[in-house]
Structure 1
Amino acid sequence: MKLYIVPGSPNCRKVQAVVHELPVPVETVIVDFAAGAHKSRDYLAINPNGLVPSLVDGDLRLWESNAIMQYLADAHDAISLFPRDPRRRIDVVRWQCWELSHFGRALGVVLFERLFKPLMGGQPDEALAQRALEQLQPYAALLDAHVKERAFVAGDAVTLADYSLGCQLPMAALGRINLAPYPNLRAWLARLDEREAWRATAMPAAMAQAIEQATAAHRSGDGGS
């Protein structure tokens, strides 16, 4: 089994966290985005979108991070991460869908404009980032209220929903996103940080430093602070 990733990618991290929970070896293959490896003929045969992550398991070629997470959990009986009970299971799926359609989409725009675009040498669109930040606020408030009365998103134990919703949030400070108004969300993230699989898949320090330097250079060039 092979998992194709780019180190530091939030969508890759949530899959990697699941891999760390499993008692089965998975070979990690680094896709060199800078060299255009994600657009190579060989990689497009695995993932025609030219994105990461992707999973190869025998003759199965699987892409979309949440689908990969669900497949891995089911294939290796990780029922604590992805319960078999229909109501508990659909609750996990519901939050993963919400992450993709609402919370993660808004958060991703802010982080792309403020972090990843400068890292790739692009010019950030701060107006777009601000609009996405406004969209994010009610979603963050919803999640904050939800985790007030429970340890994790779908109950008292970590599930796929936590890894999906948490994958971008560690970059909030770098992206100048203020989480102070959401104390329950921050407490939930702290509980997630206690998980070995989560700590083991954190963004490499060198990449975080490169992002910080790139964004600082852009803010300095624009006269920002």
Structure 2
Amino acid sequence: MRLYYHPASTSARRVMLAAIHMGTPLELTEVNLMSAEDRRRLAALNPNNKVPVLQDADFILWESGAIMQYLADRTHGQTLYPDHIMTRADINRWMLWTGQHFAPALGVYVYEHIWKGLTGNGGPDPAELDRAGRQIAQFAAVLEQHLAGRDWLCGDSLSLADMAVAPSLTYVEQAHLPVTRHPKLMAWLERMRQLDAWRQTEPVW
């Protein structure tokens, strides 16, 4: 199986985290997102023109959550995505929650504080930061409350839910993500940072 990715992409990092932790072998192809030719080739694989994309023979799969679930189903003996239907539903809930609510709001901060300047599009927009900041406050509070009395998002062990939510917090310092006042969230993030897979996928600045 081949994964098309970019090392700075938090969506691609979700997949890499899960694959490394499960021991799922992947052939990696880095996509230069600043290259028009690479972008053209990426669009042929994913009409959304985004990474990550998984290629398994003639099967092409995009959307990081779907790729994570597919890799788990392909990996014998993995523990991140148990077969129990209610456990999977709980994991799916958090994977969908971050994709719909938490990650997009955090992504605004990352874009405004990091990628916008690097791509020559000016400085941060205070109105955008205010809008996203209110959303982050709402959803970070949900996560903080959920983590009371627990180490991981679902059950008593690490799962695809943790692997899906945490990467959006990769740039917590560099992008000034307004989440540090949530002690349970930050303690959970520190547990994620101690994982070997997290260290192996840390973006290089």
Tell me whether the two structures share a fold, i.e. TM-score over 0.5: yes
Question: What amino acid maps onto 1:190 in structure 2?
Answer: E
Query: Hey, what does 1:199 align to over in structure 2?
Result: 199
Which amino acid in structure 2 is aligned with residue 121 of structure 1? Answer: G
Structure 1 residue 181 displacement after superposition: 1.8
Tell me by how many angstroms 1:78 deviates: 5.2
* Partner of residue 35, structure 2: 35
Equivalent residue runs for 1:1-225 within 5 Å = 1-40=1-40, 42-77=41-76, 79-123=78-122, 124-204=124-204, 206=205
Cα distance, 1:36 vs structure 2: 2.1
Kindly provide the CA deviation profile for residues 55-100 of structure 1, in whole angstroms up to 9, marking residues without a partner as x.
0011110000110001001111354111110000000000011001
Give aligned pairs, total: 204
Q: Which stretch of the first structure deviates more once superposed, 107-116 or 95-104?
A: 107-116
SS in 1 for 2:7: coil
Name the aligned partner's letter for residue 170 of structure 2.
Answer: P
After TM superposition, the score normalised by the length of structure 1 is: 0.86
Task: Name the CA distance, whole Å, in 2 between partners of 1:74 and 1:50.
Answer: 25
How many angstroms apart in 1 are the aligned matches of 2:127 and 2:111? Answer: 13
User: Match of 1:55, SS?
Assistant: strand
> 1:96 & 1:118 partners in 2: Cα distance?
30
The answer to whether the 8 A contact 1:6-1:30 is kept is yes
- Alignment RMSD: 1.4
Partners of 2:70 and 2:188 in 1: CA distance? 25
Shift of 1:38: 4.2
Structure 2 CA distance, aligned partners of 1:203 and 1:11? 12
CA contact (8 A) 1:110 1:130 kept: no
Q: Corresponding residue for 1:210?
A: none
Identity of aligned residues (%): 37
Gaps of 5+ in 1: 207-225
The structure that has the greater radius of gyration is 1
**Deviation beyond 6 Å, 4+ runs, structure 1:** none
SS for the counterpart of 1:177 is coil
Residue identity in the other structure for 1:74:
D
Supply the distance in 2 between the matched residues of 1:21 and 1:178 (Cα, whole angstroms).
28
Deviations 1:98-136 (A, max 9, x none): 001111111111211221111111123221122101111
TM-score normalized by the length of structure 2: 0.94
Shift in Å at residue 159 of structure 1? 0.7
> Is 1:4–1:54's contact at 8 Å kept on the other side of the alignment?
yes
Name stretches of at least 5 consecutive residues in structure 2 with no aligned partner: none
Distance 2:128 2:76 in 1: 42
After TM superposition, give the deviation of residue 145 of structure 1 in Å: 1.2
